[in-house]
Structure formats: C-alpha cells, structure tokens
Amino acid sequence: MINLIRAEWRKVITVKLGWGMLLGALALAALGVVAQIASNGNGANGNFLPPLSAAETQRSIAASSGSAYLFSVVVGIILITTEFRHFTSRPTFLIEPRRGLVVVAKLLVAALVGIIYGVACAALTAAIMAIWFAALGVNIGWVSNGILLSMLGDTAVIAIFAVVGIGVGVLVRNQIAAIIGTLVYLFVLEPLTDIIPLVQKAYPYLPGAAAAAVTGANRGSLAHLNAVQGGLVLLGYGLLFAVGGWLFTIRRDIP
C-alpha cells in the first residue's frame, strides 16, 4: 500500500498540471480576498456592507480560500481519468490487480493534494488580510471571530472535493465529460436548484451549499445548515462517491 501511495504521489509532483492548478487556486483565492476588501472600503463607502471589523465580514473574506475546491475537484478527476485516457490503467492494474487498493491510494493522495491546496490558499488569504487590515488599522479576530476555524473548514472542504473528484472520474471515465459536467453542475445546475420552487428545499443539502455552510460563505437565498451539519453532509458525499468509484472500478472492464 505504501508503494502504491508513493507511486501515485510521484505522478502528482512530476506533472506540471498539478502545480499549475495550485497556482490557479492561489490566484482565485487572492482575487476573492482583494475584491471583497476593496469593494467593502471599511464600510464607509455607502454600500451598506458590514465594516471590515465585523466578524461576518472577516469570515466571508477568509472563506475566499475555500474557492480552491474548484481546482481540487478537477485535480481529483484528472488523477483517475488520465489512467483511462492514456491507457495507463492497464499496466497499473496488472502491477496491482487488487483494484480497490489502487482506488484507495488515489483517494488518499487526492485528499493530501486537497489539504496542500487548502493550506496554501489559507496562508495566502491570511497574509493578504493581515497586511491590508494592518494598513487600514483594523484588527482581525483570528480566534474570536472564528477566522482560523473558517480556514480550517476551507481546507477540509477542498480535501473532500478532491476525493469527490476521484469518485466522479471513476464513474464517468471520460476526462473532458467529467470535468465539464462537474463544473456545469457546480456553476449552473446547483444554483438553479435554489430558485426552482419544487426542489428549492433540497438546496442546502447539495454539495456546494454544504461546502458554503462549512466555510461560512454566502451562497443561496435559503438558510444554510450550520458548519458541523454542512461538514457531515459534504463528508457523506465524499464517502458516497469514493465507495461508488471503488465498486464501479471492481465491476467494470479496464479499457
């Protein structure tokens, strides 16, 4: 098992895509922080936003690091679908015929990649906040306002979405279809659920809304679950896709 994990980890660090996705995640997190602070203007610009000293504002800004989940889920998909796209699944499963172990190794590596993405984005978010808030003379309640706890939730969300990506990749296999389908769901289908009366009540229990509950981000018009409930729901999705991916890998022919 250790050798499998080492092999999967080597695939990640020796391919430029993983590092490029990390840079993309950092850029998106930084953009979110800068946009929120700049548009808020310490609450004195007449836009009726809470001031930067407000706990809810600081948590919302800190939640910008959670945007890296968009990249971690794609990385998770790529980690498994690349095997099928380039037919490396054949030597992989010949070397280790116990397919379940291969999937578990990929799940663990994907979760580790997600944690790294989360920590990196949280560190960048914290650095930008610390410098900018200090320049404005605003104190950050890292503990009292729940900023550190929010960033910890962000990291957990990013890691879970990486695991979800593995499950999606195993179920769909086609890399382009899996990535586009996932992004369409997150950006289009799930937000539509929030405005369609017949299914609106289910919205807080969907992956994106559950992630928002964990990170403290504002998403949707309905009341969210609390952070613990959102975390459990999101973890349930992660386990569901992981188990589903494992079962499909065992039962389906290898291309």
The domain ranges of the chain are: 2-251
Cα–Cα distance between 231 and 21 in angstroms, integer?
Answer: 24
> Cβ–Cβ contacts within 10 Å for residue 160, how many?
30
Could you tell me which of 117, 36, 44 has the C-alpha nearest to residue 76? 117
Identify the weakest region by mean pLDDT among 57-61, 100-104, 249-253.
Answer: 249-253
Helices (H), the chain: 2-13, 16-40, 55-62, 69-85, 89-95, 99-136, 147-172, 175-184, 190-193, 207-215, 227-251
Q: Dihedral of CA 194/232/72/100: which sign?
A: negative
Confidence band of 120 (pLDDT split at 50, 70, 90): very high
Q: What percent of the chain has pLDDT over 70?
A: 86
Higher pLDDT, 232 or 221: 232
What residue type is 106 in one-letter code?
Answer: K
Higher pLDDT, 246 or 45: 246
Cα–Cα distance between 120 and 63 in angstroms, integer?
Answer: 13
User: Chain-wide mean pLDDT for the chain?
Assistant: 83
Q: What global pTM score does this model have?
A: 0.86
Given this model, what pLDDT does residue 16 score? 83
Given this model, what pLDDT does residue 85 score? 72
Given this model, what pLDDT does residue 96 score? 67
Given this model, what pLDDT does residue 42 score? 46
- Reduced to 3 states, what is the DSSP secondary structure of residue 87? coil
Given this model, what pLDDT does residue 94 score? 63
Q: What mean pLDDT do residues 130-144 have? A: 91
Given this model, what pLDDT does residue 126 score? 94
**Are 68 and 117 in contact, with CB atoms under 8 Å apart?**
yes
Identify the weakest region by mean pLDDT among 5-9, 35-39, 191-195, 218-222.
Answer: 218-222
**What b/e readout covers 37-55, taking b as 16+ CB neighbours within 10 angstroms?**
beebeeeeeeeebeebbbe
**Are 71 and 22 in contact, with CB atoms under 8 Å apart?**
yes
**Are 207 and 240 in contact, with CB atoms under 8 Å apart?**
no
